[in-house]
Structure 1
Amino acid sequence: MTDLCVRAAVPDDLDAVLAFWRTAAEGTSISDDRAGVERLVERDPQALILAESAGGLVGTVIAGFDGWRCHLYRLAVHPRWRRQGIGSALLAAAEERFVRLGGRRADAMVLVRNESAHHAWRAAGYAPEERWRRWVKPLTEPLKKPLAD
Structure 2
Amino acid sequence: MATFSSVSRQHLLQAISEYDERGGEEFCELYGFTPAPEHTLVHEGRRYDAGALLGVAHRIATGRLASPDEVAHGLAGGLGILRKRGFEVSEPARRVPSATRGGTRASSSRPRATRTPRASTREVPPAICPTCSMALPATGICDFCG
Structures share fold, TM-score greater than 0.5: no
Larger radius of gyration: 2
Q: TM-score, normalised by structure 1?
A: 0.30
Select the structure that is richer in strand. 1
